[in-house]
Structure 1
Amino acid sequence: MTQWPLSDAVEDMPPGLWIRRGAPPPMFSMHRHDDVEINLVLDGQLHYLFGGQPLTIREGEIAVFWAAQPHGLVDSRTGDMCWLHVPFSMFLAWGLPEAQTAPLLSAQPLITHAPDLARRIAHMAERWGEEVGGAEPGGGTGAAGGADGSSRGDDESTEIALLEIQAAMRRVLRASSRANPEAPSDGGGSVPAARLRQVSTMAQYVRDHHRSPVTVADIAASVHLAPSHAMTVFRRTAGVTLGDYVTMCRVAEAQRLLLTTSLKVTEIAEEAGFGSLSSFYEHVSAACGMTPREYRRQRR
């Protein structure tokens, strides 16, 4: 087993098309980036701190999530893994069904046990790494492209690889939606890309500002919508209210600080954006099933 102690810092990384097959890369701080990320575990296990909560991805499982939520690898049981990052702007341009895309805006990854699909995608990823770009610095098979998905491969090979990557993403999301039938949906059709951009922008605004007092009007102004309309659009697409989403982000930040710092609970309540200590205890205890102090002691 390989272990990396995470610092309490959160690194902002630029989005980009990125593919890696091999052993897990070392991570010494949590990070976030505006991509849809797929983790494929063919052999071994990955242990993350994701949005403040421990997360384990086991052999044969596929995890997919919007990587704007702070996350970091804390240890792994060395094995065969594959990572795929797709810029969120590219993902939106595909116009996929809302039942598959909306759950990505939630605070937790979609995890599906699909070993055959994981092996198929990982096998193809080795070729994508050659067609989309060169070898990743530091070892492993990888490729890195620009935020718009641009790369170093020849145009035709790159275009084919991008179509195959889109197909792989659709297969993963379809498998995830089947495994999670409670996913929110307005009727099963494709959600307009413009609306997904509005919702993702509002979600990002909340992630950036939840540590401070933030109102629905503030969030709505980030996408130039009336507050009532913004609340409706967000709830119908993401499956939670804006108020609930703000609380989810604050709880995740509180959990992260409980696990990675020695701050007092009163300081964590303030750092995470809770207006009062009672509100902090109420929401963190409800999310964790125990008090913040018990959560810190048990998880550590």
Structure 2
Amino acid sequence: MTQWPISDAVEEMPPGLWIRRGAPPPMFSMHRHDDVEINLVLEGQLHYLFGGEPLTIRAGEIAVFWAAQPHGLIDSRTGDMCWVHVPFSMVLSWGLPEAQTAPLLSAQPLITHAPELAARIAHTAERWGEEVGGSDPGGTADAADGPADEDGAEIALLEIQAALRRILRASSRARPEAPADGGGSVPAARLRQVSDMAQFARDHHRSALTIADVAAAVHLTPSHAMTVFRRTAGVTLGEYVTMCRVAEAQRLLLTTSMRVTEIAEAAGFGSLSSFYQHVSAACGMTPREYRRQAR
């Protein structure tokens, strides 16, 4: 039976390079951290609450997402899994092509069925843990306290970068609607602006947030901010704020007994009609039906 997180609070965790192979780590609350998270499921299943919506990752699948969205493991089936967390700032420094970086800024995980690739990366990841070092976010050390040697750590980081690029390439092949790679890379400064805007939206979407507020947070004009965000993230700033509000509403519907009117206000919707319109469109049913069916 699915076990929801004990607490519906969202825990802020520091970013860090972290590798784990084996059973899922215990999670007692929703959490978020400024990392790109890679989940490799070789056997079994993982059941998450991601951004307020249930998410299942099955055997042979690879999930990649920016972990700044609130998420928590609500159930897992016994099996073989591997997790890799890479600080978002590190990913930005790699200067990946735009077609590969844009999906990482999406509000939804990128899930690809690639069992052979998942098995190959998970096998190599065991060595990364020894060379780079890292510890369980829950406190259990899964690798050495420090890297075995600088050369080994440097090689491991290059291999982690290559693994992420292979995953993103496999995902684009599995999703033919994905934009073709034009060969150019997004400047790190622009990616940081977009990620900062997305972070600001997530932090303030519960209030009466405007495009001007988000643009001012990164010292851009509203028109420039909207253009940069849409070109990089693939959605408009307004759409992204709405996605954050819908995700928060879904989370509250599933993890609290708050009334629908209270949830609409807490998630940042300006009116009950707007709340019903956007949540119903995202869930394919009314908020009450979504809560009843999920429970």
Normalised TM-score (structure 1): 0.93
Match of 1:175 among 147, 165, 170: 170
- Indicate how the Cα distance of structure 1 residues 137 and 265 shifts in structure 2: closer, same or farther if over 3 A, else same: closer
- Counterpart-to-counterpart distance in 2, 1:293 and 1:72: 22
- Larger deviation, residues 59-68 vs 175-184: 175-184
- 1:151-170 CA deviation, whole Å, 9 max, x = no partner? 54321111111111111111
Q: How far did 1:181 drift? A: 3.0
- Distance change >3 Å, CA 275–CA 33, structure 1 → 2: same
SS in 2 for 1:69: coil
% identity of equivalent residues:
85
Which residue in 2 is equivalent to 1:15?
15
Q: Which residue of 2 aligns with 1:223?
A: 218
CA deviation digits over 1:206-255, x for unaligned, max 9? 00000001111110011111100100110111111100100000000000
**TM-score when normalising by structure 2:** 0.95
Which residue is equivalent to 1:159? 154
User: Pairwise CA RMSD of aligned residues?
Assistant: 2.0
1:116 aligns to what? 116
Q: CA 1:49/1:135 → structure 2, altered by over 3 Å: closer, same or farther? A: closer
1:134-283 equivalences in 2 (<5 Å): 136=136, 142-143=142-143, 151-184=146-179, 187-283=182-278
Q: 1:106 to 1:134 in 2, by over 3 A?
A: closer
**Number of the residue aligned with 1:35:** 35
Structure 1 unpaired stretches of 5+: 146-150
Alignment check: 8 A CA contact 1:103 1:184 kept: no
**1:229-282 C-alpha deviation (Å, 9 max, x unpaired):** 100110111111100100000000000000000000010001000011111111
Cα distance between partner residues in 2 of 1:144 and 1:6? 31
- Secondary structure at the aligned position of 2:7 is classed as coil
Say which SS state the counterpart of residue 36 (structure 2) adopts. Answer: strand
> What CA distance in whole angstroms lies between the structure 1 residues aligned with 2:38 and 2:57?
11
User: Following the alignment from structure 1 to structure 2, what is the Cα–Cα distance between the partners of residues 275 and 212?
Assistant: 9
SS at match of 1:218: helix
Give the Cα separation in 2 of the matches to 1:198 and 1:184.
Answer: 21
Flag the 1:110–1:137 CA change in 2: closer, same or farther, 3 A. Answer: closer
Distance, in Å, in 1 between the alignment partners of 2:144 and 2:269 is: 38
Where 1:142 maps in the other structure, the secondary structure is coil
Between 228-237 and 179-188, the greater mean CA deviation after superposition: 179-188
Paired residue type of 2:289: E
Task: Work out whether residues 264 and 272 of structure 2, in 8 Å CA contact, stay in contact via their aligned partners in 1.
Answer: yes
The 1:35/1:144 distance shift into structure 2, 3 A limit, reads farther
d(CA) in 2 for partners of 1:154 and 1:95? 25
Conserved? CA contact 2:130–2:144, under 8 Å: no
